[in-house]
Amino acid sequence: MHDVSLIVNGVPREARVPARRLLSDFLRHDLGLTGTHVGCEHGVCGACTVLLDGQPVRSCLTFAVSVAGHEVTTVEGLAKDGELSAVQRGFAECHGLQCGFCTPGFLTTATAFLRDHPAPSDDDVIEAVSGNLCRCTGYQNIVKSVHRAAELLAEEGS
C-alpha cells in the first residue's frame, strides 16, 4: 500500500492505495469523483481522459501512485464557481452530447486543445478529438461544439 497525495481540481487530496490502483479507479472509487467514465479500460475510447498537469491522459492507463505530487483536473473541475466553462457551454449549446458517456473525455480533451489552439480549423478539431470515441453523436455536433467553445473562450478573453 502507498500513500498518495496530489491536487485534484485545485484541492489537496490523500489516499492509501495499492500500487496497482489505476488513476481512473482512484478518482472514482477512492475520491468519489465519478464524472470520469470508464469505457474500454485499455486506452482506446478516451472516456477516462483527465488532465495531468494540464495535459490530457488516459486515466485507465495511469497508475495512481505515478501521479503523486501532481495536479489532476477531472470533468468536475472544469466549472468554476457554479458556472459551466466555455467548453461545457459550447457542448451544451451545439448538442455535442447525447447519452453523455463519452462527454467527460471530450470536455477534458477539448479544454487542453483549445488552450493551445485558440482558433482551430475543422481539420485541427477533428484530429484533436480523434482519440475519443462517441457511439451516439456522429461527431458533427462535437466538432461544432469545439468551434463554439473557441468563440466563447475568445469572448471571455476580449
Site residues for ligand FES per CB under 6 A: 38-41, 43-48, 58, 60, 97-102, 134-137
Residue number, 44 or 84, with CB nearest to ligand FES: 44
Least distance to ligand FES from the beta carbon of 60, Å? 3
- Our CB check for ligand FES shows the closer of 5 and 63 to be 63
Min dist CB 24 to ligand FES, Å, is 6
Of 64 and 97, the one with the shorter C-beta distance to ligand FES is 97
Q: How far is the CB of 139 from ligand FES (least distance, A)?
A: 9
For residue 22, the minimal CB distance to ligand FES (Å) is 9
Q: Quick one: 9 or 25, whose CB is closer to ligand FES? A: 25
| C-beta of 73 vs 158, nearer to ligand FES | 73
Say if CB 74 and CB 126 are below 8 A apart: no
Query: How far apart (Å, rounded) are the C-alpha atoms in residues 53 and 60?
Result: 17
CB of 101 to ligand FES, least distance (A): 5
What does the alpha-carbon distance between residue 155 and residue 12 come to, in Å, rounded to a whole number?
32
Cell of 1: 500500500
Residue 73 CB partners (closer than 8 Å, separation 6+): 8, 9, 50, 51, 54, 108, 111
Q: How far apart are CA 142 and CA 158, in angstroms?
A: 24
Sheet holding 2-8, edge to edge: 11-17, 2-8, 71-73, 49-52, 55-58
